[in-house]
Amino acid sequence: MPRRSLVSTTAFAALTVVVATTASADIFSYTDGDGVVHFSTRRTPGAKVYIKDDKSKLRGSFNPVMPSDSSPERFTRYDDAIREAATLYQIPTELVRAIIKVESDYDPRAVSIAGARGLMQMIPATSERMQVRDAFDPRENIFGGVRYLRVLANTFNGDLQLTIAGYNAGEGAVIRYGGIPPYDETRMYVSKVLGYYQQYRALSDATAASMTSP
């Protein structure tokens, strides 16, 4: 599968992923003298904790709610919020739509067995990081989810596949494995999101072409 990239107008340092042979649950980062950011599962002198593996935040009892909104209107209901968030965080609108489609099928009431909530299925820990107070609020969920995509895109130097994999498995897992984690769920997730992303891009291109045709 060829690599694709997310182009950002925001400059950031090149990123190097280092996976230690004796992996811990936490992820550490440091920046060398050349401005290159390194990630490792081993604490080295001067390194700071980038991701703290706090399993307690993943514990809990959740009542899953499967997506049930089958109205055709759901696919355009959140257009304004998607466009605004995508513009603000410089993420393709088609990618946001693809992730929403795979995550919740555009149902803001959806809840996974892991407690992920809303349109972009944000788990409580990620919602907290992205300052989302109400994950069931469609606009707030979209802005929080797209903000997280921007964090992931910056972390993985614009690599589209790693950004998508990080959204599913968390950036810690991508860093630990130095690429897409060997999880069947994550690999299928990346494939599905890329499929919808390409479909939405083709539709956008066709729409744009029809508007410019004489």
pLDDT tens profile 163-195: 999 999 999 999 999 999 999 999 999 999 999
Q: What is the CATH architecture assignment of 56-212?
A: Orthogonal Bundle (1.10)
Q: What is the pLDDT of residue 20?
A: 38
Residue 6: closest CA among 155, 172, 189? 155
Q: Which of 73, 84, 103, 185 is catalytic?
A: 103
Q: What is the pTM of this model?
A: 0.75
> Where in the sequence of the chain do the CATH 1.10.530.10 domains occur?
56-212
Low-confidence ranges of the chain (pLDDT < 70): 1-30, 35-44, 46-62, 212-214
Q: What is the pLDDT of residue 168?
A: 96
If one counts every other C-beta atom within 10 angstroms of the C-beta of residue 120, the result is 30
First to last CA, the chain: 37
Beta bridge partners, 48, equal 29
Q: Respond yes or no: is residue 94 known to be catalytic.
A: no
Q: What is the mean pLDDT of the chain?
A: 81
